[in-house]
């Protein structure tokens, strides 16, 4: 693991400062039910710009026992910078298995090209060729599993190729794990068991960013940690092939990027940071935007500025690593 070399260090640009603030686009939120004429495979929460134009798409997977709408402020921040965010609802009160989540996420991915245009604001279009994937907590694992092509149960019985991309889905151009969690312990990892504890072993060519939390691996009273060591952000980054970025939000907890009301409630069972949740959301959202600009838009100056000078973020990022 290494940081960017000193000779390519950049100074903070005006745009890299702006990624941590609300973007220039006014956005709207829409809930699309399965009864809609576009026939989505599950209920969707969509955040999109209102300004006429064509925008890249981010598919976002929510965490275990969390709702897709509980990330509204974070997703609005990302969309305000010129992205369409689609967040599927995976289950109601009763959780489904992770393979079932992966399958449902894959169905949504296939739906995007034909169904999403039918539910977007007038004169707002999508660029399906610029598609990114993200997820929080267990949704982070779901996102990684989808990018790895973990849809065929027989694939575990076959030797995996060096680099694998699922030919049955549109190609993801970026993958972002927000405090991803692979299970409750290394010995308790529900399928698909994508963590192999071999450095740089993930069989995919997608650029990866992993955003971890400093308190996610800590218990709170009798409540176990939500992101235990051995199955959390550190291992996901360790197994990611370059190019890969790692950002640790040192003084924040596993649920601190959720909307305020939910984050405050969850602070009774999951260790939370004492700092502003709004600054946490701006930091996570800004990192996501900088990474998308790099690998979907070809403009790396914002990501370089954050990597080389993490103090530009509203909260402490330590460490920051780019390989």
Active-site position among 16, 80, 134, 137: 137
Active-site position among 16, 56, 80, 179: 179
- The encoded tokens of residue 130 equal 């610029």
Helix (H/G/I), strand (E/B), else coil: 151: coil
Task: For the chain, report the end-to-end CA distance as a whole number of angstroms.
Answer: 6
Alpha-carbon Rg for the chain in angstroms? 18
Does residue 136 have an active-site annotation? no
Active-site position among 254, 256, 272, 283: 254
Q: Note the residue count of the chain.
A: 323
Give the relative orientation of helices 277-295 and 301-308 as an angle to the nearest 10 degrees: 130
HSE, CB side, 13 Å, CA atoms: give it for residue 14: 0
Does residue 179 have an active-site annotation? yes
Q: Are 136 and 61 contacting, i.e. CB atoms less than 8 angstroms apart?
A: yes
Phi, psi of 315 (to 5 degrees): -125, 175
Does residue 122 have an active-site annotation? no
Can you tell me the distance from the alpha carbon of 208 to that of 144, in angstroms, rounded to the nearest whole number?
Answer: 9
What's the angle, vertex CA 183, arms to CA 137 and CA 147, rounded to 5?
60
Can you tell me the distance from the alpha carbon of 64 to that of 67, in angstroms, rounded to the nearest whole number?
Answer: 8
Can you tell me the distance from the alpha carbon of 62 to that of 237, in angstroms, rounded to the nearest whole number?
Answer: 19
Q: Hey, which residues are catalytic here?
A: 137, 179, 254
């Amino acid at each position: 693991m290494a940081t960017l070399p000193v000779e390519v260090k950049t100074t903070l640009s005006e745009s890299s400062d702006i990624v941590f603030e609300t973007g220039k686009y006014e956005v709207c939120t829409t809930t699309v039910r399965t009864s809609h004429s576009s026939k989505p495979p599950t209920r969707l929460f969509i955040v999109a710009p209102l300004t006429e134009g064509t925008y890249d798409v981010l598919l976002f997977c929510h965490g275990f026992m969390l709702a897709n709408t509980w990330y509204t402020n974070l997703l609005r921040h990302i969309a305000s910078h010129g992205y369409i965010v689609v967040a599927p609802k995976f289950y109601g009160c009763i959780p489904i298995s992770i393979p079932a989540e992966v399958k449902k996420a894959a169905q949504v991915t296939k739906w995007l090209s034909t169904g999403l245009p039918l539910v977007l604001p007038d004169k707002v279009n999508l660029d399906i060729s610029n598609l990114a994937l993200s997820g929080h907590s267990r949704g982070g694992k779901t996102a990684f599993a989808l990018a790895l092509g973990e849809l065929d149960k027989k694939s575990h019985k076959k030797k995996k190729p060096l680099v694998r991309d699922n030919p049955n889905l549109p190609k993801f151009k970026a993958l972002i794990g927000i405090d991803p969690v692979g299970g409750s312990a290394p010995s308790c990892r529900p399928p698909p068991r994508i963590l192999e504890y071999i450095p740089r072993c993930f069989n995919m060519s997608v650029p990866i960013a992993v955003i971890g939390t400093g308190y996610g691996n800590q218990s709170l009273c009798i409540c176990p940690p939500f992101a235990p060591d051995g199955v959390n952000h550190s291992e996901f980054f360790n197994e990611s092939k370059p190019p890969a970025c790692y950002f640790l939000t040192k003084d924040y907890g596993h649920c601190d990027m959720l909307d305020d009301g939910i984050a405050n409630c969850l602070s009774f069972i999951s260790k939370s940071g004492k700092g502003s949740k709004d600054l946490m959301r701006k930091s996570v959202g800004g990192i996501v935007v900088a990474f998308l600009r790099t690998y979907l838009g070809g403009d790396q100056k914002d990501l370089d500025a954050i990597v080389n000078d993490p103090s530009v973020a509203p909260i402490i990022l330590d460490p920051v690593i780019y390989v």
